[in-house]
Chain A
Amino acid sequence: QSALTQPASVSGSPGQSITISCTGTSSDIGAYNYVSWYQQHPGEAPKVIIYGVSNRPSGLSDRFSGSKSGNTASLTISGLQAADEAHYYCISYTTTNSLIVFGGGTKLTVL
Chain B
Amino acid sequence: QLQLQESGPGLVKPSETLSLACIVSGGPIASNGHYWGWIRQPPGKGLEWIGSIFYNGNTYYYNPSLKSRVSIHADTSQNKFSLKMTSVTAADTAVYYCATTPVTAFGYAWYFDIWGRGTLVTVST
Contact = CB atoms under 8 A, between A and B. Distances in A.
Interface residues of A, number: 25
Contacts of B97: 45-46
Interface in A53-99: 57, 89, 91-93, 97-99
Interface of chain B: mostly helix, strand, loop or mixed: loop
Contacts of B110: 32, 34, 36, 91-93, 100
Interface in A20-53: 32, 34, 36, 38, 44-48, 51-52
Q: How large is the interface on B (under 10, 10 to 19, 20 to 34, 35 or more residues)?
A: 10 to 19
B42 interface: no
Contacts of B115: 45-47
Interface string B51-79: 00000000001011100000000000000
Given A46-B115, A47-B115, A102 B61 contact: no
Given A45-B97, A98-B64, A100-B63, A89 B111 contact: no
B103 to A, nearest CB: 13
Contacts of B61: 99
A104 B111 contact: no
A54 B75 CA distance: 34
Contact of B112 (A32, A44, A48, A105): A48
B109 interface: yes
Contact of B113 (A57, A91, A97, A100): A57
B116 A2 contact: no
B116 A45 contact: yes
Contacts of A92: 110
Given A32-B110, A36-B111, 18 more contacts: A2-B46, A34-B109, A34-B111, A44-B117, A46-B47, A48-B112, A51-B109, A89-B47, A91-B49, A91-B112, A92-B110, A99-B63, A99-B64, A100-B49, A102-B46, A102-B47, A102-B49, A103-B46
What 9 A-B pairs come out closest when comparing CB atoms?
A: A36-B111, A34-B110, A45-B115, A93-B110, A51-B111, A100-B49, A97-B64, A105-B46, A104-B46
Interface of A: 2, 32, 34, 36, 38, 44-48, 51-52, 57, 89, 91-93, 97-100, 102-105
